[in-house]
Amino acid sequence: MIDYAHIIDGVRSTFTPGKIVCVGRNYAEHAKELNNPVPTEPVLFIKPSTALARLESPVAIPTTMGSCHFETEMAILIGQPLSCCSEPQAAESIVGVGIALDLTLRDLQSTLKEKSLPWEKAKAFDGACPVSAFVAPQAVSDFQNQQIQLYQNGELKQDGNSGDMLTPVLPLLVYISQFFTLLPGDIVLTGTPAGVGPINPGDSLQLRLSDAVDVSTSVIAKE
């Protein structure tokens, strides 16, 4: 198991990651770009801890399974158990904020969706969740006013604001905790704004969460 960086007040510590709970279609514009209906309730799925990778290292993607898309998402690190929680409990449990890629094998996902099969292979494969180091939540004054940006080879591809989330961070944690107990070290991905597209080995990426997180990385082929 890899340890992940968690930086509070400039002090770098590590945590052992657990599961990653993700929400699909949490931005209306992204649902529309993939011709999906805008959901009335959060669409949840889980990536296992084996999907985690360090965003700061080169991002290793499969090259033999069709297109691999980037989805840039605000990531929340959980520090206290949450089960059927309230919004104040959810707020108290957040110990870190970062930025992550919800890597998606889009062709495979489309095939699975057509057959009404689960998406796991397309979303939960090894390395499917590169995550930045986490900063303290105080670095982010308002979870619902963060600019989420991805530059691919210097070109701005995703530029969304977390204020456009259909289910904001705290209600999302409350909703998730009704189904899945969140434990310290678990991560929640809060959905991607519009602009998703394929990445390829050799690409350079820059991911930003307002002024709180700024990571430059590159893409390589997975061995």
**C-beta closer to Zn ion: residue 71 or 186:** 71
Using CA atoms, how far apart are residues 113 and 108, in angstroms rounded to an integer?
9
Shortest separation between residue 1's beta carbon and Zn ion, angstroms: 23
Give the H/E segment covering residue 21: strand 20-24
**C-beta closer to Zn ion: residue 71 or 134:** 71
192 is a contact residue toward Zn ion (CB under 5 A): yes
Q: What is the DSSP string of 124-173?
A: SSTT-EEEPPEE-GGG-S-TTS-EEEEEETTEEEEEEEGGGBSS-HHHHH
**C-beta closer to Zn ion: residue 103 or 136:** 103
**C-beta closer to Zn ion: residue 20 or 213:** 20
b (16+ CB within 10 A) / e for 152-188: beeeebbebebebbbbbbbebbbbbbeeeebeebbbb
Using CA atoms, how far apart are residues 218 and 59, in angstroms rounded to an integer?
6
With contacts defined by CB under 5 A, how many residues of the chain interact with Zn ion? 3
Binding mask of the shown chain, residues 65 to 104, with x at each position contacting Zn ion by CB under 5 A: ------x------------------------------x--
109 is a contact residue toward Zn ion (CB under 5 A): no
Q: Which amino acid is at 220?
A: I
- Per CB under 5 A, the segment of 64-72, 149-157, 159-167, 199-207 that binds Zn ion is 64-72
186 is a contact residue toward Zn ion (CB under 5 A): no
Binding residues (CB under 5 A) for Zn ion: these are: 71, 102, 192
